[in-house]
Structure 1
Amino acid sequence: MGAVVILYKPDLTEARALLGSLARQVDLVCVIDNSPLSMYSPLTLSEHGNLAFHHYPNNLGIATAQNEGLKQLIEAGCKYALLFDQDSQFETDFVARMTYVFQKTKRQNLKGFAAIGPSLVCAFTQEIVRPRIQTEIERFDDVSSVPQIIASGMMIDLDHLQQVGFKDDSLFIDGVDHEWCWRAREHGFSIGLALNIFMLHRLGDGRRKFAGIPFKVGSPVRLYYQFRNIFILSRRSYVPLYWKLRNFAVMPLRIFANSILLPNRMIRLRFMTRGILDGMRNRSGPLRENAKK
């Protein structure tokens, strides 16, 4: 069992607690730090002999960083891989319980699950996150089949990774986890949600409401990838129709909210506009590469 943790300018106390907890629960932890200046080094993490630390100051993006970690776990002979962001919190028996649920699905001959994830508890509201639109497809004993899960807390069966493929590097960051889940389902696999295992997770940098609709608040540059990748993913046949319709329907509201209600309004508007234009041109990869064009 191995884990991949992606860091980007992390809170050192939170990240150290996460890495320490994981190091005690899995055989190998691959740490990918995308921060321009890393506060970590192999020496600062030397108290854990099963941590492999890698620093990429140019920022590989979430997809490429996860792929780097997954390849290392495969080379190390791991059967399962857990993916984590830096701001997730979980119990000391989290990995054991997730492994038990995953293996239980195999013993019960349920539909082949490519990955399962825990039920999320929002760090801002302390409430369990339950999707309103993309509801469960089928419920079993303690796991339900769902259209997609987020990357943090996702446990992947590495035997299925060769057929599904690695994460999509071209997306760079936003939509990477959902796209992989939809692609896995296109290949005949299921995506599971463990109903009785919970993980505290920070979704975005905050929460705001506009016209009664709650939305996540993130950094201005994330808006570029969010808007651009809506156009990129909408061209793909395996991406659910409800996702395409919902994102295009709320796009005007998101533009208004980010350019009127939030700080750095003009910066946000520029990133959204650039994302829309590059999405229409089907430009992918990191923003810095598209800026050169």
Structure 2
Amino acid sequence: MEKICTIIVTYNPNLTDFSTVLDSHTQTGDNEVIVVDNGSHNNAEILKIVNAKKISIISLQENMGIGYAQNIGIKSAKIKGGKYIILFDQDTIVTPNYAESILEYYKEISKDEKVATIGPNYYDAKTNEVYPQIVLNGIKLNKIFPKPEHGNFTFVSFIIASGSFYDIDIFDEVGVMDEKLFIDCVDIEWCFRAFKKGYKTYVCNKLMISHTIGDQRKKSLGREISIHAPIRKYYMARNNILLIRKNSIPVSYKIRKLFGIPLYMSLYLYDVGFAKEYVKFIFNGLKDGIIGKDGKYEKYRK
């Protein structure tokens, strides 16, 4: 039997919500669930929940970033004999038999295409809002909403990592996640890197899972935005600039970001009332991106 390993990365999760997430994964048809805890303050409580459900866990001593944790999970899945893996964040709730369903979709699309990864559509359980998928068209990032009536698959330029499905051998050719980005843009960078090697990313139009982007959402200037913690805006500002420096990123995407980053960050500062903490983190992120500094934010480095 072809073994599927689900990798869930945690960092200070809400314990009640996390327990519910784990319960959803026990109904997905996964052969094995692997939790990688990224140095959570509530690791002892996480261990109790995971052990009670007889799920594997790898506890890191400190937060090493999403890419590092995902790579630890991928390595563990290889050791355990996993043929396929599915990556998840700690807040993503899946439908029953998700793993079995996405495996069948992967087998279908991979008959005719070189597949990097496939993933589902996403909605916010709090608002029931369906998130758009993204296709790079010249310097435009077109938002699309794949629906079941559009067929089984839709090509996209990149997908959110949570819920994404991979043949584990793909990492031997494309490489694993870029740990130096720490968090944010890790999934974007990997999908573009795979595309440069001839592999495509797809959305399974008929799969939908619950996923939350940002700590909260608000409307501003006629649009709805995700509000993140100030430190996350550091990584977003920095990593978008770091992507411009990478050879694997399409030139049109680089041009888009080169002109779009100052506007986006300015609008975001307006959205948060130019709060001092946001100004500081965004400025530091832009500065570090320009000079090419990567990894964990300097304040937290030992």
Alignment of 1:129 with 2:131, yes or no, is yes
Partner of 1:15: 18
For structure 1, the residue ranges without an aligned partner over 5 or more in a row are none
SS at match of 1:228: helix
Aligned-residue sequence identity (percent) comes to 28
CA spacing shift, 1:206–1:41, aligned 2, 3 Å: closer
CA distance in 2, matches of 1:256, 1:192: 32
With 247-256 and 114-123 compared, the bigger mean Cα shift is at: 247-256
With 247-256 and 163-172 compared, the bigger mean Cα shift is at: 247-256
Indicate the RMSD between aligned Cα atoms, in angstroms: 2.5
Partner of 1:110: 112
CA spacing shift, 1:88–1:44, aligned 2, 3 Å: closer
CA spacing shift, 1:194–1:96, aligned 2, 3 Å: same
Partner of 1:269: 279
Q: Across the two proteins, how many residue pairs are aligned to each other?
A: 288
CA distance in 2, matches of 1:232, 1:15: 32
Alignment of 1:66 with 2:76, yes or no, is no
Q: Which amino acid aligns with 2:261?
A: M
CA spacing shift, 1:215–1:43, aligned 2, 3 Å: closer
CA contact (8 A) 1:7 1:32 kept: yes
CA distance in 2, matches of 1:205, 1:45: 24
CA distance in 2, matches of 1:129, 1:193: 12
Q: Which amino acid aligns with 1:102?
A: Y
Partner of 1:174: 184
CA contact (8 A) 1:143 1:194 kept: yes
Partner of 1:30: 34
For structure 2, the residue ranges without an aligned partner over 5 or more in a row are 135-140
CA spacing shift, 1:284–1:69, aligned 2, 3 Å: same
Partner of 2:121: 119
- 1:7 deviation in Å? 0.8
Partner of 2:293: 283
CA distance in 2, matches of 1:160, 1:170: 20
CA distance in 2, matches of 1:235, 1:211: 31
- 1:26 deviation in Å? 1.1
Q: Which amino acid aligns with 1:197?
A: L
Identify which of 95, 102, 109 aligns with 1:91: 95
Identify which of 41, 51, 59 aligns with 1:46: 51
- 1:60 deviation in Å? 1.0
Q: Deviations over 1:177-226 (max 9, x none)?
A: 11111111111111110000101110111223433343221000001110
Partner of 1:2: 5
CA distance in 1, matches of 2:74, 2:205: 25
Q: Deviations over 1:121-144 (max 9, x none)?
A: 1334313222363467x9994012
Q: Deviations over 1:112-162 (max 9, x none)?
A: 1121000111334313222363467x9994012211001000011112110
Using structure 2 for the length normalisation, give the TM-score. Answer: 0.87
CA distance in 2, matches of 1:42, 1:261: 38
Alignment of 1:56 with 2:60, yes or no, is yes
CA distance in 2, matches of 1:92, 1:264: 43
CA distance in 1, matches of 2:153, 2:98: 15
With 263-272 and 153-162 compared, the bigger mean Cα shift is at: 263-272
CA contact (8 A) 1:33 1:55 kept: yes
- 1:258 deviation in Å? 4.0
Alignment of 1:164 with 2:174, yes or no, is yes
Partner of 2:247: 237
CA spacing shift, 1:257–1:95, aligned 2, 3 Å: same
Alignment of 1:78 with 2:82, yes or no, is yes
Alignment of 1:187 with 2:197, yes or no, is yes
CA distance in 1, matches of 2:143, 2:219: 22
CA contact (8 A) 1:41 1:53 kept: no
With 125-134 and 20-29 compared, the bigger mean Cα shift is at: 125-134
CA distance in 1, matches of 2:46, 2:224: 39
